[in-house]
């Protein structure tokens, strides 16, 4: 991984590009999709610990009835920040980490379409997260729930909900430009021969997710601006005294919010669709159905939003329409479960940690999906909504589904990213602790909800039947925490090992395993020509006349040796300007709260970053 | 940017479309939803303001028609600019680019004058629902125009300084796509907000 | 091994659900409906739940079986046949769930419209106002009024006749509308055993019908985050037999006796700024109506039992008892508190 040489006539001064591609400071100027993926992953994991700590405090408060451990105001901040953190600062960026690292590798490309835009996305995401968290120090964290319903969120006197608008808007900008970047990469930069239906399912899910992001984020951005303007500029978007409707926010928020949940789960579905075939030693069952159901979910997902609003009095016709669309979306979602079962059926199943987590995703998502079906029974939802039954549902799909899936991805792709395998015994301990802890935490919440425990309450009275299950749930939460500690021990321990993982430790099927572990900066020495789905598998195995699978003779060295070791490959060079441009965003945001002069400074910094970006020379000339 | 453009010239893409063009179309599609939500908010609150001033009290349709025409004309000059660059006449191309920017500036200036007039007549962001939805919608559109003007002038300067590589028409085409989009959005806004009448509440 | 674990898990889950349904200490238990509007929901939910349970057992059971049956066994190195799919099977397992779901959809839609229907003609009309953080009840029917077009107004407890539908009109109150002290925000009226919840949205009027089949107490809560004390915004529906209800109405219609001494001074100078006590002061009604406060079981958003001690503790320092309370600490002396409590206790 040598530094890229810079030609002698490079301009001095502001437009001189950085040269280092290794070392601590190179992380601030990198445009390598793999390093950016690692940045996303590491940052998201830190936020996971913070969001998890918030959850533990919530569970401590709820362990006993009529507890006064945490006051009501702080409690509102805790569950708001827990939700915001887990959705926007953990699951989304963890998915982005995997997409960033793997998309070019899996499609046989050397980088994403716009490497500096990629770096900008990461720094803008970080800025959004830090601005959101700075609220704790600057007058109070957001306390209106992650869904921020006005008028409560527009009229609350603490500045928290303004930080909410600003932080999420920045994170939204990050995700929107990243979505455009990754969508163009997938559509336009596939290796020769990789038609759309030879792409891995993980890539297909990634493509659907980028479109969902690109089309849903603008809607919430508008809503966030309207919220911010109601709070800071006296507009009337959600002001009932001026004729405004609080329901406008709900419609706009959920028009984003529902596609958002598919954004959160489809990456995990993609990971499961890669992991199960590898450890069952047979292909994904029904590739086309899985792909089409993912696309169908993407489309139908824009038509179900008001199922979050059944109790708001929209009327029986609207409730029926959204009830039916919600029932319909269960079909493409459920189909995948059967396809995954078909993948395992008659396979040769090896229960590595990656496989265990993938199976965990499927089994836990079934539960979450079924409780979701009960939600789609609209009148039943009149009882379930805003109770712990909903909390159970979404944790089963988001934690049981998305987080388990992401951990499967960690175990599966760890050797590719870091050149070392994670320890399997620690992995299995982690899995079982997490599985047990997770079900102990969220299983009882179904019961609590049906017994009438509402959401977002800091405590509950004795004698309502809530005591036992809340205590069990808290014990489960600490069990989950223990499992995370096991994972961290495993991760840190892996770095003490030698970097000797093979290119293809799992005998896998897709292109990322055709290069070294970790890959060189240019990903592949030779641009691969793809002849089929599961290209790598078909290079290793063929079927003989009787249909039995036999290994292929190891091929001769490729004729074209010109690019071995990366010679003659042009890679985009590092740059300061994505970071500079991203720095402008929080300045603009803080200026809204503390003085327009600061916003102007921020705009200047942003523009300077963008101009530098546009004007800087290309860094490499072979 | 120079680096991206050079790369695109030398590499094949799966669809044959350059990456930047695909990205621009995707961005514009995304921006459609942004304006869609803003326009929907305006339409949902049409006629719902509890106090004035109301649209009929402040709108000057002939005035706004003129400034709309100016913006429309700027799309024409944008096409002329692209055509000149494609004919490898960058000097003429720059002339049309600057003209486009000036027309855009005229539009923005006209809006600024219009808005200050409305404000003096009592229409502010906080006056009523009309003020809130109108100013936020047209304000975001104006910001898009302003960014477009910056891009047009920057392109002209870079072309003049010889900083645009090879086929200079490509970045001009990209900015052109953005500029036409902003113009089309204005046509929708002008129709929905100004031309479709909002009866005063009884 | 995994099979046993499954059976154990399933058994525990079923037991839990059964226990939950039978719990005696679950006064907000939606699985134990106490009136037709909640029963209709329950009648729809329970069959769907059992269908979901059956699907759960089939699918998870199937997965566990497959995991056990096709696990890799040492010494048997093989690559299994590379099956890519089975179009007919996949179509079948797309259509089958769709059919089951269609079966669920039909009674769902029927129940949506059933619950949204106009209430029967004999329904009692009550307007429910959500405040930060308490519930106000206004009985608007002519026979319930206490004066010229003046509804009977109470708080915290919704007293209704048993076995008769009650048609609720839901509004959000607040300083923006001049009818409350706090901010007008979204609440949700959730009476659990009597009906599903309906949101209370400022600027919008929602409706719902509830009915309790038998006399009894049916607690409920606010179910939409509404600020600091959202978790302390409870209420109770008291269903009374027709005779008891008539007696209650008659009692509520009476005016309060006038206070004297310290209590009288305080009420005139301070309390009347927000509280109505019919017969004493109707100057303002942005806080709970106290005319018959002693007839209620609970105080302050139904979070404290209505006892001398709790009443005194409240008067001593309301914001300390309930975060964000819009009733400030008036720094009352113990003597003043005694006097007020003595008087309030007479307001049966």
- Within 8 A of A465 by CB-CB distance, chain C residues are 20, 23, 25-27, 29
A181 CB near a chain B CB, below 8 Å?
Answer: yes
Verify C-A touch: 3 or more CB pairs within 8 A: yes
Specify if B5 maps to a domain: no
| CATH code for the domain in which residue B130 is found | 1.20.120.80
- Contact check, Cβ <8 Å, C26/A280: no
**Are the C-beta atoms of residues C128 and C189 closer than 8 Å to each other?**
yes
Q: Residues 6 or more apart from A601 whose CB is under 8 A from it?
A: A587, A591
The predicted structure's pLDDT at residue A2 = 35
CA A254/CA A323 separation, integer angstroms:
15
Specify if C158 maps to a domain: no
Specify if B103 maps to a domain: yes
Specify if B18 maps to a domain: no
Give residue-wise pLDDT tens across range A490-541: 999 999 999 999 999 999 999 999 999 999 999 999 888 999 999 999 999 9
Give residue-wise pLDDT tens across range A130-177: 999 999 999 999 999 999 999 999 999 999 999 999 999 999 999 999
- Within 8 A of B165 by CB-CB distance, chain A residues are none
Tally C-beta pairs within 8 A across A and B. 123
C-alpha atoms less than 13 angstroms from C-alpha of B138 in its C-beta half-sphere: 23
* CA-based nearest distance B125→chain A, Å: 5
- Contact check, Cβ <8 Å, B29/A217: no
A248 CB near a chain C CB, below 8 Å?
Answer: no
Give the residue from A152, A132, A142, A131 showing the smallest Cα distance to A77.
Answer: A142
The predicted structure's pLDDT at residue A555 = 57
Give residue-wise pLDDT tens across range C15-67: 555 555 445 579 999 999 999 999 999 999 999 999 999 999 999 999 999 99
- If DSSP codes are grouped into helix, strand and coil, which group holds residue B11? coil
This prediction's pTM: 0.95
Q: Region B41-50: what's the mean pLDDT?
A: 96
Q: Region B73-83: what's the mean pLDDT?
A: 97
The predicted structure's pLDDT at residue A1 = 35
Residue B135: give the domain boundaries: 30-195
A229 CB near a chain B CB, below 8 Å?
Answer: yes
Counting as contact any 3 or more CB pairs under 8 A, the partners of C are A
**Are the C-beta atoms of residues C219 and C140 closer than 8 Å to each other?**
no
**Are the C-beta atoms of residues C111 and C40 closer than 8 Å to each other?**
yes
* CA-based nearest distance C51→chain A, Å: 10
Q: Region B33-60: what's the mean pLDDT?
A: 96
Give the residue from A253, A291, A257, A255 showing the smallest Cα distance to A273.
Answer: A291
Read off the pLDDT band of A301 (50, 70, 90): very high
Counting as contact any 3 or more CB pairs under 8 A, the partners of A are B, C
Of C85, C92, C210, C298, which to mutate for an interface test with A (greatest number of A Cβ within 10 Å)?
C85
A378 CB near a chain C CB, below 8 Å?
Answer: yes
The predicted structure's pLDDT at residue A4 = 42
Matching residue, tokens 């486009």:
B100
**Are the C-beta atoms of residues B53 and A222 closer than 8 Å to each other?**
no
DSSP string, B93-105: HHHHHHHHHHHHH
What single DSSP character describes residue C123? Answer: P
Q: Which residue of A has its CA nearest to B49?
A: A243
CA B196/CA A371 separation, integer angstroms:
46
Matching residue, tokens 């007839």:
C295
**What percent helix, strand, coil does chain B show, rounded to 5?**
75, 0, 25
Q: Which residue of A has its CA nearest to B27?
A: A180
Among partner residues B19, B22, B50, which is closest to A242 by beta-carbon distance?
Answer: B50
- Within 8 A of A543 by CB-CB distance, chain C residues are 82
- If DSSP codes are grouped into helix, strand and coil, which group holds residue A215? helix
- Contact check, Cβ <8 Å, A572/B13: no
Which residues lie across from C169 on neighbouring strands? C127, C207
* CA-based nearest distance B15→chain A, Å: 6
- Contact check, Cβ <8 Å, B125/A242: no
Of A83, A452, A470, which to mutate for an interface test with C (greatest number of C Cβ within 10 Å)?
A452
Does pLDDT of A565 surpass 90?
no
**Are the C-beta atoms of residues C52 and C14 closer than 8 Å to each other?**
no
Among partner residues A184, A190, A616, which is closest to B22 by beta-carbon distance?
Answer: A184
**Are the C-beta atoms of residues C308 and C315 closer than 8 Å to each other?**
no
- Contact check, Cβ <8 Å, B38/A222: yes
Which chain B residues in 28-67 lie under 8 Å from chain A, judged by CB atoms? 29-31, 33-34, 36-38, 41, 44-45, 48-51
Read off the pLDDT band of B10 (50, 70, 90): very low
Verify B-C touch: 3 or more CB pairs within 8 A: no
A318 CB near a chain C CB, below 8 Å?
Answer: no
Matching residue, tokens 């960690």:
A410
Of C38, C78, C108, which to mutate for an interface test with A (greatest number of A Cβ within 10 Å)?
C108
- ipTM exceeds 0.90: yes
Specify if B111 maps to a domain: yes
Specify if C62 maps to a domain: no
Give the residue from A83, A47, A139, A94 showing the smallest Cα distance to A253.
Answer: A83
Q: How does strand C124-131 pair with strand C166-172?
A: parallel
**Are the C-beta atoms of residues C62 and A342 closer than 8 Å to each other?**
no
Specify if B200 maps to a domain: no
Give residue-wise pLDDT tens across range B108-140: 999 999 999 999 999 999 999 999 999 999 999
CA A364/CA C149 separation, integer angstroms:
57
Of A74, A143, A145, A152, which to mutate for an interface test with C (greatest number of C Cβ within 10 Å)?
A152
Which chain A residues in 71-90 lie under 8 Å from chain C, judged by CB atoms? 71-73, 75-76
Which chain A residues in 194-213 lie under 8 Å from chain B, judged by CB atoms? 194
Angle between helices A353-376 and A404-418 (to 10 degrees): 150
Which chain A residues in 320-349 lie under 8 Å from chain C, judged by CB atoms? 320, 323-324, 327-328, 330-331, 334-335, 337-339, 341-342, 344-349
CA A235/CA A247 separation, integer angstroms:
16
Number of domains in chain B: 1
Stretches in chain C below the pLDDT threshold 70: 1-24
- Contact check, Cβ <8 Å, A614/B1: yes
CA A30/CA A21 separation, integer angstroms:
7
Give the residue from A576, A579, A611 showing the smallest Cα distance to A20.
Answer: A576
Vertex C150: Cα angle to C284 and C249 (nearest 5) = 110
Pull the structure tokens for residue A89.
Answer: 């600062």
Specify if C239 maps to a domain: no
Residue C276: give the domain boundaries: 261-344
Q: Residues 6 or more apart from A266 whose CB is under 8 A from it?
A: A205, A206, A208, A209, A212, A294, A297, A298
- Contact check, Cβ <8 Å, C25/A463: yes
Does pLDDT of A96 surpass 70?
yes
Specify if B14 maps to a domain: no
Specify if B82 maps to a domain: yes
Specify if B138 maps to a domain: yes
Give residue-wise pLDDT tens across range A554-563: 655 554 556 6
Alpha-helix residue ranges (DSSP H) falling in chain C: 2-22, 36-69, 87-116, 242-253, 261-269, 308-316, 318-321, 334-344
Q: Which residue of A has its CA nearest to B24?
A: A180
Number of domains in chain C: 1
Of A360, A379, A381, A544, which to mutate for an interface test with C (greatest number of C Cβ within 10 Å)?
A379
User: Taking the CB of residue C47, how many other CB atoms lie within 10 A of it?
Assistant: 13
Q: Residue A592: left (phi > 0), alpha (psi -120 to 50), or beta?
A: alpha
- Contact check, Cβ <8 Å, A331/C101: yes
| CATH code for the domain in which residue C289 is found | 2.60.40.420
Matching residue, tokens 């060295």:
A557
Q: Which residue of A has its CA nearest to B155?
A: A614
Tally C-beta pairs within 8 A across A and C. 297
Of A17, A188, A194, A233, which to mutate for an interface test with B (greatest number of B Cβ within 10 Å)?
A188
Among partner residues A316, A342, A465, which is closest to C112 by beta-carbon distance?
Answer: A316
Burial of A597 (0-12, 13-18, 19+ CB in 10 A): exposed
Matching residue, tokens 């091929």:
A555
The predicted structure's pLDDT at residue A334 = 87
Specify if C302 maps to a domain: yes
Distances (CA, A) of C228 to A387, C133, C225: 18, 9, 9
Distances (CA, A) of C170 to A336, C130, C230: 43, 8, 17
């Amino acid at each position: 991984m040598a530094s890229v040489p810079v030609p002698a006539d490079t301009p001095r001064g502001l437009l001189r590009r950085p040269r280092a591609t290794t070392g601590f400071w190179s992380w601030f100027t990198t445009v390598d999709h793999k390093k950016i993926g690692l940045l996303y992953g590491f940052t998201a994991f830190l936020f996971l610990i913070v969001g998890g700590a918030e959850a533990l405090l919530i569970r401590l408060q709820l362990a006993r009835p009529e507890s006064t451990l945490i006051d009501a105001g702080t409690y509102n901040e805790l569950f708001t920040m827990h939700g915001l953190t887990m959705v926007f600062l953990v699951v989304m960026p963890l998915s982005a980490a995997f997409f960033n690292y793997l998309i070019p590798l899996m499609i046989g490309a050397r980088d994403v379409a716009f490497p500096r835009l990629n770096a900008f996305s990461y720094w803008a995401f970080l800025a959004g997260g830090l601005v959101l968290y700075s609220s704790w120090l600057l007058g109070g964290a957001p306390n209106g729930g992650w869904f921020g319903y006005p008028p409560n969120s527009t009229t609350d006197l603490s500045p928290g909900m303004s930080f909410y608008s600003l932080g999420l808007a920045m994170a939204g900008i990050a995700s929107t430009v990243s979505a455009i970047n990754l969508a163009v990469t997938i559509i336009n930069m596939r290796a020769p021969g990789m038609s759309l239906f030879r792409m891995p399912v993980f890539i297909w899910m990634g493509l659907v997710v980028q479109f969902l992001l690109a089309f849903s984020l603008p809607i919430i951005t508008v809503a966030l601006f309207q919220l911010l303007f109601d709070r800071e500029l006296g507009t009337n978007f959600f002001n009932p005294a001026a004729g405004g409707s609080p329901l406008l926010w709900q419609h706009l928020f959920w028009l984003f919010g529902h596609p958002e949940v598919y954004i959160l789960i489809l990456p995990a579905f993609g990971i499961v669709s890669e992991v199960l075939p590898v450890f069952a030693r047979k292909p994904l069952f029904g590739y086309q159905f899985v792909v089409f159901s993912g696309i169908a979910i993407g489309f139908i997902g824009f038509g179900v939003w008001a199922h979050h609003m059944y109790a708001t009095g929209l009327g029986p016709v609207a409730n029926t329409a959204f009830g039916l669309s919600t029932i319909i979306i269960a079909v493409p979602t459920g189909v995948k479960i059967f396809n995954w079962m078909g993948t395992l059926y008659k396979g040769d199943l090896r229960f590595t940690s990656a496989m265990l987590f993938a199976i965990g995703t499927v089994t836990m998502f079934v539960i979450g999906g079924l409780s979701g079906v009960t939600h789609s029974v609209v009148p039943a939802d009149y009882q379930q909504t805003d109770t712990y039954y909903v909390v159970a549902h979404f944790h089963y799909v988001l934690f049981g589904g998305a987080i388990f899936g992401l951990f499967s991805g960690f175990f599966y792709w760890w050797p590719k990213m870091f050149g070392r395998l994670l320890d399997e015994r620690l992995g299995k301990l982690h899995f079982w602790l997490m599985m047990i802890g997770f079900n102990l935490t969220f299983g009882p919440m179904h019961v609590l909800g049906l017994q009438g425990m509402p959401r977002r309450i800091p405590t509950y009275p004795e004698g309502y039947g809530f005591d036992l299950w809340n205590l069990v749930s808290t014990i489960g939460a600490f069990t989950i925490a223990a499992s995370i500690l096991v994972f961290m021990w495993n991760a840190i321990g892996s770095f003490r090992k030698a970097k000797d993982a093979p290119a293809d430790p799992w005998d896998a099927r897709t292109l990322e395993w055709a290069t070294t572990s970790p890959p060189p900066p240019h990903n592949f020495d030779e641009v691969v020509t793809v002849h089929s789905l599961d290209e790598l598998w078909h290079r290793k195995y063929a079927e003989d006349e009787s249909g039995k699978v036999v290994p292929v003779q190891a091929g001769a060295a490729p004729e074209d040796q010109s690019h071995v070791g990366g010679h003659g490959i042009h890679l985009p060079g590092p740059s300061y300007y994505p970071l500079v441009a991203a720095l402008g965003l929080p300045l603009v945001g803080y200026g809204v709260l503390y003085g327009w002069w600061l916003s102007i400074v921020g705009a200047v910094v942003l523009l300077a970053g963008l101009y530098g970006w546009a004007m800087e020379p290309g860094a490499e000339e072979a | 940017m120079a680096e991206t453009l050079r790369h695109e010239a030398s590499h094949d893409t799966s669809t044959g479309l350059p990456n930047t063009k695909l990205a621009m179309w995707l961005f514009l599609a995304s921006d459609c939803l942004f304006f869609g939500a803003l326009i929907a908010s305006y339409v949902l609150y049409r006629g719902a303001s509890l106090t004035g001033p109301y649209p009929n009290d402040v709108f000057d349709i002939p005035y706004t028609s003129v400034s709309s025409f100016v913006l429309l004309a700027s799309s024409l000059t944008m096409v002329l600019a692209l055509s000149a660059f494609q004919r490898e006449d960058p000097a003429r191309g720059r002339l049309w680019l600057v003209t486009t920017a000036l027309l855009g500036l005229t539009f923005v200036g006209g809006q600024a004058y219009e808005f200050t007039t409305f404000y003096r007549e009592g229409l502010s962001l906080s006056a009523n629902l009309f003020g809130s939805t109108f100013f936020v919608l047209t304000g975001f559109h104006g910001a898009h125009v302003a960014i477009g003007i910056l891009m047009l002038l920057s392109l002209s300067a870079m072309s003049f300084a010889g900083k645009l590589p090879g086929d200079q028409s490509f970045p001009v085409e990209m900015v052109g796509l953005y500029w036409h989009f902003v113009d089309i959005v204005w046509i929708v806004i002008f129709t929905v907000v100004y031309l479709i009448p909002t009866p005063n509440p009884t | 091994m995994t099979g046993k674990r499954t059976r154990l898990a399933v058994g525990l889950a079923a037991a839990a659900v059964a226990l939950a349904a039978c719990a005696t200490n679950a006064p907000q238990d939606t699985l134990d409906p106490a009136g037709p509007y909640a029963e209709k929901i329950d009648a729809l939910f329970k069959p769907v739940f059992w269908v979901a349970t059956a699907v759960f057992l089939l699918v998870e059971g199937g997965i566990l079986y497959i995991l056990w049956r096709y696990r890799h066994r040492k010494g048997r190195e093989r690559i299994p046949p590379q099956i890519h799919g089975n179009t007919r099977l996949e179509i079948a397992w797309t259509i089958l769930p769709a059919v089951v779901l269609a079966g669920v959809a039909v009674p769902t839609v029927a129940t949506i419209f059933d619950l949204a229907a106009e209430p029967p003609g004999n329904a009692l009309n009550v307007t429910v106002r959500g405040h930060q953080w308490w519930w106000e009840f206004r009985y608007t029917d002519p026979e319930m009024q206490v004066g010229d077009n003046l509804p009977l107004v109470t708080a915290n407890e919704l007293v209704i006749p048993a076995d008769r539908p009650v048609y609720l009109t839901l509004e959000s109150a607040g300083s923006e509308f001049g009818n409350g002290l706090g901010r007008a925000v979204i609440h949700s009226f959730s009476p659990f055993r009597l009906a599903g919840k309906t949101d209370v949205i400022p600027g919008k009027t929602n409706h719902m019908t509830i009915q309790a089949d038998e006399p009894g107490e049916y607690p409920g809560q606010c179910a939409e985050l509404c600020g600091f004390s959202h978790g302390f915004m409870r209420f109770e529906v008291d269903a009374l037999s027709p005779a008891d209800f008539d007696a209650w109405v008659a009692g509520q219609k009476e005016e309060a006796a006038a206070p004297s001494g310290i209590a009288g001074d305080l009420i005139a100078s301070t309390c009347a700024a927000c509280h109505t006590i019919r017969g004493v002061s109707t100057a303002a009604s942005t806080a709970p109506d106290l005319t018959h406060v002693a007839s209620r079981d609970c105080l302050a958003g139904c979070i404290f039992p209505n006892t001398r001690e709790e009443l005194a503790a409240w008067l001593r320092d309301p914001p300390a008892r309930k975060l964000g309370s819009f009733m400030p600490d008036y720094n009352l002396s113990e003597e003043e508190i005694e006097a007020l409590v003595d008087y309030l206790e007479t307001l049966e």
